[in-house]
Structure 1
């Protein structure tokens, strides 16, 4: 029963780290423990349990951390016994003669043998002492975005999952367009003029537009904490868009579209970070006018292009001529060349009316500005594009 408690604790801690662990996985893990508990190889146990619990290669690091806490860090001195080194029966101490070993009691000889996993782990394991530290995903999704203004790997991982969910929602919407599903509420309403007789049937066809989507993300010091989450969501749902382009800016722009094709998100993130460092785009200050000029020149804009800009609309270096903001004039040209321009603002709407905010200038230029209240709200905005 003690052994099962440790495996159950392993399952629970993996759930706390955000992994998907089912009852069946826990039962299989118990069977694996019963098979291997008499051996001396902790490596084999770890490998076997990985094959049970890990469904996504992104979870390898989480599993290793929890496994080490429960099985390896119990006792460092005893942990050294659990290496894949078979006992050869020889004594390494030259000061002790072979005859002395032969005269030792039987229980002393047995104690020199490597301990099995079952005997090594202390029997007084108490799962109630384990720290419960997980922030549940549902709580994070609904948390005010202003309270998540720091880098957190767990939130980054959640954003990656959000991207997959958005892709599934958009895929379903696309399939419904080609399906011959009857929209009964619409059919009944439209046939009321016929006395309620269903003379004409109306199919459920959600609008799906084949547009190009161009994402421009502000990575200056005030927005870099959310730009990483924004990119991870876009990376996860990119295949659900017809054509997609990605750019980042602070005082200049970089084209990150090519990095979206990488198979590994973490490799992509490292490459983009390296490019930011080379361009000096780490905790910088935004220059909207200069960045928008470069974007207007380089981005593939036409009447089918939807531009989505992630920014807090703080143009610190902005210049005004006769009361008109320079970056707003350039944004107006972007609006004219595009189908529409949407701005996702992570700032609270109450702060949009402050002197340093240029939300009104961008709205007057023709852009639609949306407040990002939380991650769930951001996901819904991207889903409905």
Structure 2
């Protein structure tokens, strides 16, 4: 276990994200190779642990360096001298390959010397045709995470933080290219005609249109109540990586009140920014709270100073659990109507499936009647595309 923990530490120093679960799985895999005396067994162990730690082929070089440094840094009596082995595994009369592991064949399964038993594989659950990646630079593993239902994502999976940062950078790059295209090679027909009147109306000298400077201010509101806390973390990761592509962006968290967390976006790296957000939530007692959108929206309107250039993006399931109602209509809908009237656009990203909208205390239809645009967000790919096009 000490060698596996040391390997995980060395991988973290090289910039590879390693979770506690990966370390535990690596320890379980290493139990099959308890006695490393030959180059063949050493290579088998390296291949097994690389299947646990390496999530991207670009990480293979760093893994090999960390693995060699970990398992070779021992006493001289325990150092393993490796050579390129050209010997092939022995075969029995039936053509089956045998290695150095002792295996006993039972009627139902194989039993190994280790305490860990191999479970049977159900071929019906194996996806032999994974979906193709829609984005260049994202491998099939990352693409499957992007298309997985947000409810099934594990918050403690370190790879998801790296994926959200990559999505945020792609959002920023696409928005930058779109803004650059909108500012170049556009001809002002009216000015060109007026300038070429001296040539009898023939367009000889073309006048380019001056770029229109968009001064929209983006406000991001994230619902951190108990029902939406799990998706607000991924939302913050994307906004952190793409913040430079938004003009004067501000970030808010809310449950029964609104608290601005914009200063967390200025941290040096994502983990420090995320830590700052958690500290702000703890100071304001916003850990798994109850939604009261009436008081939360009222607090946000007082802090934000919305105008006709403001674009408000709200991540919430629209469930006003503790908000006041009048004639069975939530009073928060009146505040939503006020925000839609004084701002340029209000967009709500709802992580719940549409079949659950307008059920029990859901206020989707009330917010739609107030003028807000409500869109379904079921996975990280949908979330990235919607943030990209605002």
What TM-score, normalized to structure 1?
0.64
* Cα deviation, residue 244, structure 1: 0.4
Equivalences, count? 287
Tell me the residue number matched to 1:230: 235
**Deviations along 1:133-156, whole A, 9 cap, x unmatched?**
x98101111122233375533222
How far, CA to CA, are the matches of 1:173 and 1:15 in structure 2? 37
Where 1:281 maps in the other structure, the secondary structure is: coil
SS at match of 1:171: helix
Assess if the C-alpha contact under 8 Å between 1:177 and 1:208 holds in 2: no
| 2:183 maps to 1:221 | no
Aligned partner of 2:54 in structure 1 is 16
TM-score by length of 2: 0.64
Aligned partner of 1:313 in structure 2 is 318
Residue 263 in 1 paired to residue 268 in 2? yes
> Paired residue for 2:179, among 163, 174, 177?
174
Once the two structures are superposed, residues 185-206 of structure 1 have per-residue CA deviations (whole angstroms, 9 ceiling, x without a partner) of xxxxxxxxxxxxxxxx9x9x99
Q: Which residue of 1 aligns with 2:327?
A: 322
Matched, 1:293 2:298: yes
Specify whether residues 309 and 367 from structure 1 end up closer, same or farther in structure 2 by C-alpha distance, changes over 3 A only. Answer: same
Partner residue of 1:360 out of 341, 345, 365: 365
**Which blocks of at least 5 consecutive residues in structure 1 are unaligned?**
30-52, 54-62, 82-113, 183-200
Instruction: Report the CA distance between 1:14 and its aligned residue.
Output: 8.1
1:10-159 aligned within 5 A: 13=51, 16-18=54-56, 20-21=58-59, 53=62, 70-71=67-68, 80-81=74-75, 114-115=76-77, 117-119=79-81, 136-148=141-153, 150-159=155-164
Match of 1:136, SS state, is helix
**C-alpha displacement at 1:285, in angstroms?**
1.1
For the aligned residues, what is the CA RMSD? 4.0
For 1:10 and 1:345, the matched residues in 2 are separated by 41
Q: Partners of 2:335 and 2:381 in 1: how far apart? A: 31
- Determine which structure has more spread, i.e. the larger CA radius of gyration: 1
Q: Is contact 1:252-1:291 (8 Å) kept?
A: yes
d(CA) in 2 for partners of 1:257, 1:264: 14
Q: Residues 72, 279 of structure 1: CA spacing in aligned structure 2 closer, same or farther, 3 A cutoff?
A: same
Q: Distance in 1 between matches of 2:46 and 2:154?
A: 34
Q: How far apart are the structure 2 equivalents of 1:373 and 1:223?
A: 13
Structure 1 residues 264 and 149, CA gap change in structure 2 (3 angstroms): closer
Cα distance in 2 between the residues matched to 1:310 and 1:206: 32
Counterpart residue number, 1:111: none
- 1:211 corresponds to: 216
Give 1:372 deviation, angstroms: 0.3
Maintained 8 Å contact 1:171/1:240: yes
Unaligned segments of structure 2, at least 5 residues: 1-38, 90-98, 102-117, 119-138, 188-205
2:374 equivalent among 369, 372, 376? 369
- Structure 1 residues 67 and 328, CA gap change in structure 2 (3 angstroms): farther
Measured in 1, the distance between the counterparts of 2:233 and 2:340 equals 25
**1:10 CA drift (Å):** 9.0
- Per-residue CA deviations over 1:241-296 (Å, capped at 9, x if unaligned) read 12200000111111111111111111111111112112211111111111111001
**Which residue number corresponds to residue 97 of structure 1?**
none
Greater RCO, 1 or 2 (C-alpha within 8 Å, sep 6+):
1
- d(CA) in 1 for partners of 2:181, 2:45: 44
Partner of 1:104: none
Q: What is the CA deviation profile of residues 2-36 of structure 1, one whole-angstrom value per residue up to 9, with x for unaligned ones?
A: 69957984995487334634xxxx6xx5xxxxxxx
SS for the counterpart of 1:210 is coil
* Of 325, 336, 345, the match for 1:340: 345
